[in-house]
Amino acid sequence: MNKQHYDFDRVISRGDKSGSYSIKWQSFEEKFPGYNIDTQNSLGMWIADMDFLCPPEVISAIKKRAEHGIYGYLAPIALEAFKKAAAGWFERRYDYKVPTDWMLFISGVVPSINAAIQEFSKPGDGIIIQNPVYYPFSNSIKNNGRIIRNNSLIEDKGSYTMNFENLENIAKKSDTKFFILCNPHNPVGRVWTKDELYQACQICLDNGVLVFSDEIHADFIMKDYHFSTAGKLSEEISQNLIISYAPSKTFNIAGLAASLIVVPNPKLRERLAKRMEANNYPDPNVFAPIAGEAAYLYGDNYVSELMEYVEHNFDFTVNFLRENLPSITMKKPEGTYLGWMDFRGTGLNSKEIYSLILEKAKVVVDLGDWFGSEGDGFIRINLACPKYIVIEALQRLKKAFQNL
């Protein structure tokens, strides 16, 4: 691997004594009830934020603004600068030209999903998701009194595809109103091809089902794959589409709560904006658009080198499992920095697997069944961290599982 301009090998403390208040490394007992987790000696490899410093340009922009010393309400021009920088990023990275007036600011993907569900469906309506998938999708559906219509992905030896026949059957139901698409798909790591996206979105268009495409992991694409945004499939599909983007994953600024919703259809955009206003979603904090603007303006080299580093972590992990723990497998993802690790070959049930990982190995990961019953026997592990942590985690797993 070429010498890195950014020091992604640097291990930065995020535990109790660091003052960072990182949910990834602290307060495990709140998220993992029923497990006896040693917080002080466990490795945090679950929630999707990275253990790398933000780009230096982002840190500098925040410091410069902080030194002003007054943190009052933001003028709209700050958001316009953020949107303009985002538009440049979308065009450079995705070849997707997005006028800034198509964009709505919101704190995150999940609030945008909730607002869209509330505006474009009613209680009792069906909303399609494709398990195993990011678990806040199902929480948002249930919390808003809607019905989950699950179009489970088809799994074959660690590879996943969409079930288009079943998707069409579900979409044809008169009370199915909404489809939450995840691209790249969290947690299985698929980067859906243009043809797959077109087929899924066309089915929805033909049946009056609105598509919400969560593309927050769009910048994490492995070198042999290409990201296609749903926004470029066709003019007709774009008018039946809401897309969510954010700099939070890409540049490790999730705590600043900055996200953008792209809505090409002006009528849908107006309705969603009014819903967000009615929900009294907070204005951005004073640092969010400034950090987002700097990230999108100056972050290209950072992301390129970051992906090289993360991909090396995946290559190392896949090879380690093959050579040392053959009953545990993980297919290298096409996108995201999240590994979908399969423990079914151990012959243990999910509770036994999770107990060994969390309590004996002391590696804190997302539990597979959080993503639906299709995730039983799996875990999701975050490999956006220094290689030292990856090696330590794998050695701990080897010690916990090698004598089964």
The domain locations on the chain are 16-56+300-401, 69-298
Residues 255/14, Cβ–Cβ less than 8 Å: no
Give me the helices (H) in 248-369, please: 248-251, 266-278, 288-298, 300-324, 350-355
* Neighbour tally for 362: CB within 10 Å: 18
**Buried/exposed 110-122: b ≥16 CB within 10 Å, e otherwise:** bbbbbbbbbbbbe
The structure tokens listed for 87 are 């538009």
In this structure, the strands spanning 103-106 and 329-330 are unpaired
Q: How many helices (H) and strands (E) does the chain have?
A: 14, 15
Tens of pLDDT along the chain (404 residues)?
A: 454 589 999 999 987 777 888 999 988 888 899 999 999 999 999 999 999 999 999 999 999 999 999 999 988 898 999 999 999 999 999 999 999 999 999 999 999 999 999 999 999 999 999 999 999 999 999 999 999 999 999 999 899 999 999 999 999 999 999 999 999 999 999 999 999 999 999 999 999 999 999 999 999 999 999 999 999 999 999 999 999 999 999 999 999 999 999 999 999 999 999 999 999 888 899 999 999 999 999 999 999 999 999 999 999 999 999 999 999 999 999 999 999 999 999 999 999 999 999 999 999 999 999 999 999 999 999 999 999 999 999 999 999 999 87
Q: Please report the sign of the dihedral spanned by the C-alpha atoms of residue 197, residue 198, residue 203, residue 207.
A: positive
The radius of gyration computed from the CA coordinates of the chain, to the nearest angstrom, equals 21
In this structure, the strands spanning 329-330 and 259-262 are unpaired
- Structural domain 16-56+300-401, CATH architecture: Alpha-Beta Complex (3.90)
CA distance 174 to 153: 22
Instruction: Note the pLDDT of residue 36.
Output: 95
Residue in 74, 47, 35, 112 with CA at minimum distance from that of residue 281: 112
CA distance 129 to 150: 5
CA distance 323 to 325: 6
pTM for the whole structure: 0.96
CA distance 337 to 305: 14
Residues 218/224, Cβ–Cβ less than 8 Å: no
SS3 for 79-134 is HHHHHHHHHHHHHHHHCCCCCHHHEEEECCHHHHHHHHHHHHCCCCCEEEECCCCC
CATH (one of 3.90.1140.10, 3.40.50.720, 3.40.640.10, 3.30.70.890) for 69-298:
3.40.640.10
Which distant-in-sequence residues (6+ apart) come within 8 Å of 378 by Cβ? 132, 187, 340, 341, 342, 343, 344, 368, 371
CA distance 18 to 13: 6
Instruction: Note the pLDDT of residue 282.
Output: 81
**Burial class, 301, CB count within 10 angstroms (exposed 0-12 / middle 13-18 / buried 19+):** exposed
Instruction: Note the pLDDT of residue 1.
Output: 46
Residues 357/366, Cβ–Cβ less than 8 Å: no
The structure tokens listed for 163 are 């079930």
Residue in 237, 259, 261, 234 with CA at minimum distance from that of residue 248: 259
Residues 370/135, Cβ–Cβ less than 8 Å: yes
Instruction: Note the pLDDT of residue 179.
Output: 99
Q: What is the DSSP letter of 359?
A: I
Instruction: Note the pLDDT of residue 347.
Output: 98
* Neighbour tally for 11: CB within 10 Å: 12
Residues 254/248, Cβ–Cβ less than 8 Å: yes
For residues 170, 173, 179 and 184, what is the CA-based torsion angle, rounded to 10 degrees?
Answer: 10
- The CA angle 319-301-295, to the nearest 5 degrees, is 115
